Structures are given as C-alpha cells and as structure tokens.
C-alpha cells in the first residue's frame, strides 16, 4: 500500500514486504544496539550483508545512545548509507519509550536530510528483540515521519516490513488520515 500525498513533488510513504538489506535506497536504517557492532535480527542481517568494512567503520563511531542515530557507508549493500539508530527496550511504556522511539525516526530523517539523501527505508524499530508492541510502535513511526519538518527534502520513505503482520500494521497506519 502506498500513501501518495496530493502534490506529486512531495515525499511518498510506502509500506512494503521486503528484506531491508536488498533495497536500493540512499539509506537503510539499522535497528542497532548501543555498541553499533552488530547483533541479532535486522542488525545482524545488515552487518552480514554489508561485510566487514561496516563493522570497522562502526567501531570508529563510538556507539550510540538510545533515541539517537549515526550514519555510515553501505559497503556491499544496495544502499549507499546505513543510518544506525538505537530504539528503546519496551518496559511497559513508562520509561520514556514513546519519546525515545519517535527520536529514533526523527534523528534518522535529520541525518538523511543533512547528508542530502533522497530515499530512506526503516525497519520496525524496537519491535523485535526489544519487545515494543507493534500496535503502539507503528503509529509513532508513521506520525513522526509525517510530521517531520524537512520531509519534503526526501523523495521516498519506505517502511520495510519483514512479515505480513508488520506490513498490515503499517498499511493500516498509512491509511489513517490523522496518522
């Protein structure tokens, strides 16, 4: 499903069923851990697909705080850049998780714009091993992207969904006019 805004010169938002490591984008987002040195899930998949040069660069980045993001090269990926962000671990939503999650999306978009990138793909940040409930995380993701001040600097934002249930959640949120 695609959310195309009224003006064709504006950013399009897409939700697709895809392996984020295979996408041809200016940047893909890595749902990383604080070390940026690889891990499980999408983090491990991105590191494996990008090759050892990504790990070498990430070692020089010095880690990343939760809610923040850092950018690296894409190496063997089809994306020219990887934007690494550290989502919050779900602790029942009472430890600033919504704000931290929104911060992840916002910081990734800020880095994309600062580096003059035109397209970016996001995974469902924090919804895997970090346990953030999909039904709560997806509206935050979509709303944060839609309300980003410099969104028109991008041509395309993709929500790369690893499974059909994640895709359906994003499609529903993108169909909501208030989201």
List the chain domain ranges: 2-175
Beta bridge partners of 121: 28, 158
Q: Locate all alpha helices (DSSP H) within 62-126, ordered by sequence.
A: 97-114
Work out the pLDDT band at 16, boundaries 50, 70, 90.
very high
pLDDT in tens, 105-160: 999 999 999 999 999 999 999 999 999 999 999 999 999 999 999 999 999 999 99
Catalytic site includes residue 43: yes
pLDDT in tens, 86-106: 999 999 999 999 999 999 999
Cα separation of 128 and 145, whole Å?
Answer: 20
pLDDT of residue 10: 79
Judged against a pLDDT cut of 50, whether residue 5 lies above it is answered with no
Q: Cβ(177)–Cβ(142) under 8 Å?
A: no
pLDDT of residue 47: 98
Cα separation of 9 and 5, whole Å?
Answer: 9
For the domain with range 2-175, which CATH number is right: 3.40.190.10, 3.40.50.1100, 3.40.220.10, 3.20.20.300? 3.40.220.10
Catalytic residue among 3, 43, 53, 175: 43
Question: Pairing relation of β-strands 27-31 and 119-122?
Answer: parallel
């Amino acid at each position: 499903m695609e959310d195309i805004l009224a003006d064709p010169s504006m950013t399009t938002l897409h939700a697709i069923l895809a392996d984020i490591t295979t996408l041809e984008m200016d940047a893909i987002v890595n749902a990383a851990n604080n070390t940026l040195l690889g891990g499980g899930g999408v983090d491990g998949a991105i590191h494996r697909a990008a090759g050892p040069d990504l790990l070498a660069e990430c070692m020089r980045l010095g880690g990343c705080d939760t809610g923040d993001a850092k950018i690296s090269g894409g190496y063997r990926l089809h994306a020219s850049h990887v934007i690494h962000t550290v989502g919050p671990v779900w602790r029942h939503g009472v430890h600033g998780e919504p704000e931290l999650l929104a911060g992840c999306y916002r910081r990734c978009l800020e880095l994309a714009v600062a580096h003059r990138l035109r397209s970016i793909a996001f995974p469902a940040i924090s919804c895997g091993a970090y346990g953030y409930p999909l039904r709560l995380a997806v509206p935050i993701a979509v709303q944060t992207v839609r309300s980003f001040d410099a969104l028109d600097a991008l041509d395309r934002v993709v929500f790369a969904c690893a499974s059909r249930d994640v895709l359906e959640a994003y499609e529903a949120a993108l169909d909501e006019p208030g989201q």
